């Protein structure tokens, strides 16, 4: 959708998460499916990326370099994506008009919606089609602050790689969803990617984009709350959250802390759904699919399903994507399938026909 940099041939999808870098490379198969060619995951030290801003570029570019060397990835072309408050995605509606007039109208509209100086953003739009109800054109408007793009492309360049396409997390997520779940009905599905510090919500109807919002909550909050409650260091709290006993503390003892953070996440989801429903004619969400590392949080999927009374499941990035079990461990793939949604969505961009 949003190609803020030039689109080119085959590339590696690189999801620069605030805590975990994930790289994936795919190739089309004869059957018209996709096969995994390479996969790499590299943790970042805390505080290298804070609030979507790359604070320390060198460790991030070193980590990118490491993934490519360790996994022996030869392709140096990279597709990546960004999220957060420097990214504005908005569906607007305009009367049918000539392409020239449209470009002018969109620019004018953009100035109303974009809370930054228009000179500081890169803008892109896509005409989604004529709305049967209103007769107007539905247009998807995307604007990203230029300094954010520069930040993310510079760490890639520092690692000696070439950024060829800049996408938005929400669209990469939707791309991975469409490829794996091949939606045929117009059911409304909420895709929730819950990472370490950001939750990206993308609501779709079939393959139509409806609404997206990024919220500053995620797995990091669980760790922080556990650290405070049990007076633990970061990695100990992280281990306890992941279900390991730490300093004689049984992971079960952390359940109430985990539940209290899940409660905060639920409130944010509720607020987003309320806002979404107040701005569209859709009044029901049929299904929720949760990706990102925090999808593994004990009880999270079950709590979401219970509270919202909506069928909820973990995202499977490898539902339709094949891999050679001699090269990639099946259990590792199954375990990481929710975490890799955005990287897979990005990798798909460069191989889709």
Ligand X SMILES: Nc1ncnc2c1ncn2[C@@H]1O[C@H](COP(=O)(O)OP(=O)(O)OP(=O)(O)O)[C@@H](O)[C@H]1O
Binding stretches for Mg ion (CB under 5 A): 17, 195
**Comparison of 19 and 110: residue with beta carbon closer to ligand X:** 19
Handedness of CA 270, 272, 273, 277 (dihedral sign): positive
Interaction of residue 227 with ligand X, rule CB under 6 A: no
Q: Which position among 297, 303, 316, 350 is part of the footprint of ligand X (CB under 6 A)?
A: 297
Q: Where are the alpha helices (DSSP H) in 114-168?
A: 146-158
Distance of alpha carbon 91 from alpha carbon 46, whole angstroms: 35
Binding partner of residue 232 among Mg ion, ligand X, none, CB cut-off 5 to 8 Å per kind? none
Q: DSSP labels for 94-128?
A: E----HHHHHHHHHHHHHHH-SS-GGGEEEEEEEE
- Within 106-125, which residues bind ligand X (CB under 6 A)? none
The reply to whether 163 sits near ligand X by the rule CB under 6 A is no
Give the span between the Cα atoms of 21 and 42, in whole angstroms: 5
Choices 13-21, 27-35, 92-100, 160-168; region in contact with ligand X by CB under 6 A: 13-21
4 or 20: whose CB is closer to ligand X? 20
Name 165's Cβ contacts closer than 8 Å, sequence gap at least 6.
3, 4, 5, 6, 7, 8, 11, 79, 80, 349, 350
**From the CB of 208, what's the least distance to ligand X, in Å?**
24
When the beta carbons of 110 and 300 are compared against ligand X, the nearer one is 300
Among candidates 66, 92, 68, 63, which has minimal Cα distance to 78?
Answer: 68
Segment contacting ligand X (CB under 6 A): 70-78, 100-108, 192-200, 265-273? Answer: 192-200
Which tokens sit at 214? 């990024």
Q: Is 13 in the site for ligand X (CB under 6 A)?
A: no
Q: List the one residue from 339, 346, 347, 351 that touches ligand X (CB under 6 A).
A: 339
Residue 19 sits in the site that holds ligand X (CB under 6 A) = yes
User: According to the binding rule CB under 6 A, does residue 345 interact with ligand X?
Assistant: no
Strand 12-16 and strand 77-82: the pairing is: parallel
Gap between the Cα atoms of 259 and 215, Å rounded: 19
CB of 45 to ligand X, least distance (A): 12
Please count the residues of this chain forming the interface with ligand X, following the rule CB under 6 A.
20
Select from Mg ion, ligand X, none the partner in contact with residue 148, using the beta carbon and a kind-dependent cut-off of 5 to 8 Å.
Answer: none
- Of 80 and 262, which has the nearer Cβ to Mg ion? 80
Q: How far apart are CA 297 and CA 17, in angstroms?
A: 17
Distance of alpha carbon 14 from alpha carbon 23, whole angstroms: 4
Q: Which of residues 13 and 17 has its CB atom nearest to Mg ion in the complex?
A: 17
**Residue 40 binding ligand X, by CB under 6 A:** no
C-alpha 238, offset from chain centre? 22
Give the x-and-dash track for 228-247 against ligand X (CB under 6 A): ----------x--xx-----
Give the pair of three-digit tokens for residue 242.
């992941």
Q: Which of 101, 143, 100 is nearest to 119 (CA)?
A: 143
Is residue 273 within 8 A of residue 265, CB to CB? The reply is: no
Binding site for ligand X (CB under 6 A): 17-20, 195-198, 218-220, 238, 241-242, 292-294, 296-297, 339
């Amino acid at each position: 959708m949003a190609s803020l940099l030039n689109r080119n041939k085959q590339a590696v999808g690189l999801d620069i998460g605030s805590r975990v870098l994930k790289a994936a490379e795919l190739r089309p198969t004869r059957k018209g499916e996709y096969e995994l060619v390479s996969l790499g995951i590299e943790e970042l030290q805390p505080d290298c990326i804070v609030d979507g801003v790359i604070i320390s570029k060198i460790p991030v570019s070193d980590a990118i370099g490491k993934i490519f060397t360790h996994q022996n990835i030869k392709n140096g072309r990279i597709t990546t994506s960004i999220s957060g408050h420097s990214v504005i995605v908005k569906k607007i509606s305009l009367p049918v008009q000539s392409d020239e007039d449209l470009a002018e109208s969109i620019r004018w509209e953009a100035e109303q919606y974009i809370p930054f100086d228009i000179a500081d953003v890169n803008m892109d739009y896509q005409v989604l089609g004529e709305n049967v109800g209103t007769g107007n054109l539905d247009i998807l408007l995307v604007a990203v602050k230029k300094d954010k793009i520069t930040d993310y492309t510079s760490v890639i360049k520092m690692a000696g790689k070439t950024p060829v396409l800049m996408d938005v997390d929400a669209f990469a997520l939707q791309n991975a969803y469409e490829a794996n779940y091949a939606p045929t009905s117009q059911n409304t599905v909420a895709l929730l990617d819950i990472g370490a510090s950001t939750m990206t919500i993308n609501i779709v109807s079939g393959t139509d984009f409806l609404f997206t919002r990024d919220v500053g909550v995620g797995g990091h909050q669980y760790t922080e709350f556990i650290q405070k409650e049990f007076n633990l260091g970061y990695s100990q709290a992280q281990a306890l959250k992941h279900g390991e006993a730490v300093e004689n503390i049984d992971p079960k003892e952390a359940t109430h802390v985990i539940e209290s953070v899940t409660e905060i996440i639920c409130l944010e989801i509720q607020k987003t759904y309320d806002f979404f429903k107040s701005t569209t004619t859709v009044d029901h969400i049929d299904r929720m699919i949760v990706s990102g590392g925090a999808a593994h949080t004990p009880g999270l999927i079950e709590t979401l399903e219970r509270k919202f009374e909506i069928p909820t499941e973990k995202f499977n990035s490898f539902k339709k994507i094949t891999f050679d079990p001699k090269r990639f461990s099946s259990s590792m793939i199954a375990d990481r399938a929710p975490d890799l949604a955005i990287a897979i969505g990005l990798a798909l961009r460069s191989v889709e026909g």
